[in-house]
Structure 1
Amino acid sequence: MLSLHISDETSLLKEVVLGTAQNNGPTPTAEEAYDPKSLEHILAGTYPVEEDMVREMDAFAAVFEKYHVKVYRPELIENYNQIFSRDIGFVIEDTFIKANILPDRERELDAIQYVIDLMNPAKVVRPPENVHIEGGDVMLWNDHIFIGTYKGSDYKNYITARTNMDGVQYIRDLFPSKIVKEFDLVKSKIEARDNALHLDCCFQPVGKDKGIIYKSGFREESDYMYLVNLFGMENLFHITRDEMYDMNSNVFSIAPDVVVSERNFTRLNTWLRSQGFTVEEIPYAEIAKQEGLLRCSTLPLLRMPQ
């Protein structure tokens, strides 16, 4: 049986699901775009091609191999995008939660059913239909669970609004001993530089007490200040609007002192090294054109408890 344990974002990683770019299918039409950044590249003729994305994901897989992480890959669905495994489910403590994702992405869950079958069935849950929640909006930080949401009355009009307040309440009910803190995120259907698709598009912890943050990704300054007060201003690396657009906050931690980052994130990677991190730089700029990056591509199953 597969042991599950995730209590934070940075403890030593032992097992993970990594998405795949193989058999990715043709470039979507503008009408099929799920987010404004993909739409931008579809219209510009710069949407990434499968060969380049496979090469980038192979580089990510090689880093996992280097650190002896057991990697599961989805079963292939013909002509289908299966890169962003973070969307389809997530682990909190020892429980696997299936995400209620956009209906036409349901097949992505089926593609990792062979992994779910290894889990204790009593520890696999599926929220009710009214609950919208995706893994990119859920972050564990010791006694906290951070959740990105959108509180606007026009929630249903935004395909970029992925987690609702019913999702926040569902997690509160499931983990009553945790401090569940929701963050109201800025959303846009047309401008990727003003769209925090998920919480990990504008914030992510690294190490034991540090984080990467984009202040303008939060609709309420009080939400931003909550993280400033929790982590300390001196421990937060503030990214710019363009760096948020490039997905600088969507790196991935393999250990408290090891971060996988995009090789073009010069300012961030320099800061990480100055803080004592080992930075594993890989190419991921083509995949970034779909408004997702390294954290989005992973579904961690087991990190060693601290």
Structure 2
Amino acid sequence: MTNKRQGSAYTEYGVLKEVLMCSPEEMRIKKPINEVQKSYEDENIDQDKAIEEHQFLIETLKNHGVTVQLIPALSKLPEQVFTRDLGFATEKGIITGKMETDIREPEIKEFKSWLQDHHWDYLSINDGSIEGGDVLIDEDVIYVGDSSRTSEQAVKQLEELFPAKKIITIPFDKKYLHLDCIFNILSPGTALLYPDALSNDIVRDICMRYRTITVTEEEQFRLGTNVLSIGNKTVISLPENKKVNEDMKEMGFEVLEIPFSEIIKSGGSFRCVTMPLIKGK
């Protein structure tokens, strides 16, 4: 009998050890499901360029000691490159989510099959919908986006799974898709934030908990908050987001600037295309 592998993650900024990704070879804007996709629907995706960008990200991760696993890309799943939304890793292991949109829901079945075939243990959220882009973990706190993609029923199930943790729900303007498009935690006490998408009360609460780097409207559209922390205060970010990158550097972060301009046309960046399987403390 094969022993099951256990995923794990305790924070957004722990050392990334193993990650699940998917090649964008089948990526295309088939039916726009977010505001960014609507802007690029006519232009659509240059798949060759997207594959080149994605491969460079994979090589960068490997060069920093990350094991990269790939789930097969299927033609019927044009959003599959965004593996983050499949679920999330926690101290209790991997939890599979449930997609809100019909075009993405079959991805969960493929994800579960992949986990089973590769001997990973997992738990599932089956009530309502929850996508990994709406979940941010920081030790004893789990932030959950109250978005068009994550429902109240799923949050209640999450509360049952983690009775010892504080679950903080963050409502925001639904046009921003996921929580990680407007808020991201970089290190203990430091976060990226696009405050215009949130109420004044929520902004105040976040600023009391974190030293925040404010993202401009222009850089938010280029997914300036959707960076990927790989541990040891090292962050992967778009070169075009110059202000965000300079602000992070001034706060002591090493910023790895990687071209990703083709993939972000579909509404997701570095955090969106990476589903951590194992992240250390």
Q: Structure 1 length normalisation: TM-score?
A: 0.85
Structure 1 segment 1-306 matched on structure 2, within 5 A: 1-24=4-27, 27-28=29-30, 32-42=31-41, 45-78=42-75, 80-81=77-78, 82-101=80-99, 102-112=101-111, 113-119=113-119, 121=121, 124-128=122-126, 130-150=127-147, 161-187=148-174, 195-218=175-198, 220-231=199-210, 235-305=211-281
In the alignment, the residues of structure 2 paired with residue 273 and residue 96 of structure 1 have an alpha-carbon distance, to the nearest angstrom, of 32
SS in 2 for 1:63: helix
Cα shift at 1:108: 2.1
In the alignment, the residues of structure 1 paired with residue 178 and residue 116 of structure 2 have an alpha-carbon distance, to the nearest angstrom, of 24
Describe the superposition over 1:48-68 as per-residue Cα deviations: whole angstroms up to 9, x where unpaired. Answer: 211111111111101111111
Tell me how many residue pairs correspond in the alignment: 275
Structure 1 residue runs without a partner (length 5+):
151-160, 188-194
CA contact (8 A) 1:16 1:301 kept: yes
CA contact (8 A) 2:5 2:120 kept: yes
Change (3 A) 1:120 1:289: closer
In the alignment, the residues of structure 2 paired with residue 69 and residue 11 of structure 1 have an alpha-carbon distance, to the nearest angstrom, of 12
Change (3 A) 1:2 1:71: same
In the alignment, the residues of structure 1 paired with residue 24 and residue 73 of structure 2 have an alpha-carbon distance, to the nearest angstrom, of 9
Q: Structure 2 length normalisation: TM-score?
A: 0.92
Cα shift at 1:80: 3.4
In the alignment, the residues of structure 1 paired with residue 119 and residue 196 of structure 2 have an alpha-carbon distance, to the nearest angstrom, of 39
Change (3 A) 1:221 1:167: farther
SS in 2 for 1:263: coil
Instruction: Give the superposed CA RMSD.
Output: 1.6
CA contact (8 A) 2:24 2:73 kept: no
One-letter code aligned to 1:15: E
In the alignment, the residues of structure 1 paired with residue 221 and residue 157 of structure 2 have an alpha-carbon distance, to the nearest angstrom, of 30
In the alignment, the residues of structure 2 paired with residue 103 and residue 80 of structure 1 have an alpha-carbon distance, to the nearest angstrom, of 11
One-letter code aligned to 1:258: T
In the alignment, the residues of structure 1 paired with residue 34 and residue 206 of structure 2 have an alpha-carbon distance, to the nearest angstrom, of 26
In the alignment, the residues of structure 2 paired with residue 184 and residue 3 of structure 1 have an alpha-carbon distance, to the nearest angstrom, of 31
